[in-house]
Each structure stands twice: as structure tokens, then as C-alpha cells.
Copies of this chain bind each other. A is one copy, B any other.
């Protein structure tokens, strides 16, 4: 729009006549004049309108799209949420009207609505500055991740979504009517990460995954995104964990640098990174939780959610000054069929989880890269190798020693921002009940 000035830039226009455009956020009738607060993506501007303009605006609903021309003056208002200047309106133009009752109050500091109301009315609720901020932070996380991976010389892959009929235990797959045949929606980019790693050596991307979860919980979505990473010619898992750590550091730096306003608005402080993320075996983590945390889960095959929280918010900050901790050596029964086993103990895998913000945020490890080993591992998992034809074909033709990881985008966003429900961290969430908007 010609000559339009963004609200954030008005402070530098003192004394000038400028054009702003945005949504009518609030209107205050002061009898002989009025205050119209106009919102654009960068902030709120106080516009002083005369009686005639006030009357015109009083006939409109909030959220009407307006264009205002006026002179920028020093602000009289004491409201700290408003910029230090205000506009004395000259001309006022309605760009687009509101034709129905707006279902929520966007101008309040907190939306204070139920989750279903929040999502049902995404068209409007996303305009609330705190909602808008969530997905700015989410995009910054993605940018930090990609910048890190590109700087390493790795190749971005665009993973496919439609796949052949389910074989890997079909219960949680969504089925698609594909020209009368059955297709499924991707649950994991694992096959494609490994194929392309066998070409580009280091690959990354943002995949879509679909899970026909039976229940709608605060931690589950039927459609979500994953940061993917796979690296070939790896001597040992340390190299994979280092990329996990360094990508998290890059993401936190990108968010701190680019989203300072959003973090302040959402009252979020990022956890300490420390010199180096500590690394501890699952067995040692369970023992520490028993000895220092006072909870004995040493007979369990994994840490409980409470144990993960303790480890990353109490143990790791206390001993290592870090809010992040790698837990390694998960039992074979708890890891997928492609997880590489410990050559000295087949019941143990060379895998890791990265725990941060109180819960698991990354899961990864070394992968089986030889055909015979993979056939054997499938059989031991009770899976039929004939159902994994593409997977095994890949292993036939020379796959280097390799590892990788996955990290859920919405779960990470939820954890970084401390949101109660993962749907708050999902711009258009889908669950058992929800397919819209």
C-alpha cells in the first residue's frame, strides 16, 4: 500500500502527516472527541478522532479494516501498551467492514476463552497479540534449525506424504481411498531420510506425520510436523548428539534474537544452555532420580514424565548449569526396528533422547545400516520382513554407518512457550474430533 507506515515506525514520524492501515481494535468515546486504537501486525496506534469521525466509527464494529491519514504527535495517553506517539486523524476510510458479531474480545490483554472456542474461532483469535506471537516463535524455531543445517552443507528434502498400504502395524494409520486402492498417510519420514542420506550423506527437512491416535489428549495431534535429520559416515553417536545440541543452540539463539518482543509478551524465559549438554545413560538417570530425586523408577524401562521433568529442570541445571540433558542407552524393546543395537548387549540400543523444558524433545540414535542385521531385527520385533520391501531394498545397496533424529515442531513450540495444550502450539490443529477450520 503506497505510503503506508507500520505502527512500529510511527515514533520516527513526529510532526509528519502519514497513512496507517489496520483493524479497529478499540474505540473510546470522550464526548467531544474519541480515541480509536488501530492495530496492525506490528502494534497498536492511538488515533485521536473528532466528533464527526467518532460518530462514523461508532456505527462500525471492532475489527473493521480502516485506513487513516493524520499527523503524528506526542502521546497524551499513559497506557504503557501504546506507543509514545499518537495520530491526530485527518481522513478516515473504511477498507473492509465487519458483517457479523465478533465472537471474542481481541483487545483484552488475555483472550480467556476455552480451547475449543480458541480454535473454532481461529480466524479471529489468531489476531490476539499473544496468539500471533506463538506462531512467530514457531517460525523462528524452524528458521534457526534450517540455518544450522544449511551451514553444515546438508541437503533439504521434501518428504512424500502418500504411501502404499500400511504394513508396519496398521492400527494408527489413516487410510486413503486411492483410485479404489488403499493408500496411507505417512507416519514417519524414516525410510525417505535413510534413502536420501544414502545419496546426500547429510539430510534434513520438516516432515508431516499422521497418527490415528484414539484419544484427544493435551499432548497428541493427528497431524503434526517433525524436524528430520539423518547423517551418514558417522563413527559413533556423539556426532549425531552434537548436531542435536548445536541445532537446539541455533534455534534458541534465533528465537532470542528475532522474537524478543514475543518472548516478553508471552512472559517466557529460555532455559540455560550451559557449556555442554550433559550425557547420561538411562540406567544412571533412573539411579540419580532415585538417589537425588527420591523416586525409585529403576525397575521401569523408561523415565516417567515426572522423572524427565526432574532431570531437565532440577538435576541438569544443578550439576551442569543446563536445562538440557541427553539420556542414552534405551532398551531395545522401547525403540523402533531400525535402532542400532549395542554389539555387546542386544537388549540395549545406541540411541538417545534429548530432554529439555521438562520433557523429551528429540529422539534419535544410530541406525541399522546392513541388510542382514535389519532382517534379523525385524524378525526379533515380531515384524515380517516381506512387509518392509522398500526399506530392505535400501539396505541391500550400501548404506554407510549412520544416525539421525526427529523432533516434533508443535511439541517443541508447546514446551518452549510453556503452553498447557499442544493444540495451542498448532496453528490449525487436527484431533479425533477436529478437522476445521
Contact = CB atoms under 8 A, between A and B. Distances in A.
In the complex, the count of this chain's copies comes to: 2
Interface string A93-133: 00111111010000000000000000000111011000010
Interface in A8-62: 21, 23-24, 40-41
A185 to B, nearest CB: 7
Given A4-B233, A195-B437, A437-B191, A400 B162 contact: no
A174 B176 contact: yes
Given A161-B161, A191-B437, A401 B96 contact: yes
A238 B135 CA distance: 29
Contacts of A177: 174-177
Contact of A174 (B178, B199, B210): B178
Given A176-B174, A398-B97, A393 B437 contact: yes
Contact of A370 (B97, B185, B239, B436): B97
Interface in A354-396: 369-372, 390, 393-396
Interface in A158-184: 158-164, 174-179, 181, 183
Interface stretch (A200-208, A264-272, A415-423): A200-208
The residue in A122, A399, A435 that gathers the most chain B C-beta atoms within 10 A of its C-beta is A435
B223 A162 contact: yes
A163 B208 contact: no
A409 interface: yes
18 contacts: A1-B233, A1-B239, A2-B235, A95-B233, A96-B398, A96-B401, A123-B397, A136-B155, A138-B158, A139-B156, A159-B428, A160-B428, A161-B161, A162-B430, A163-B435, A175-B176, A176-B177, A393-B437
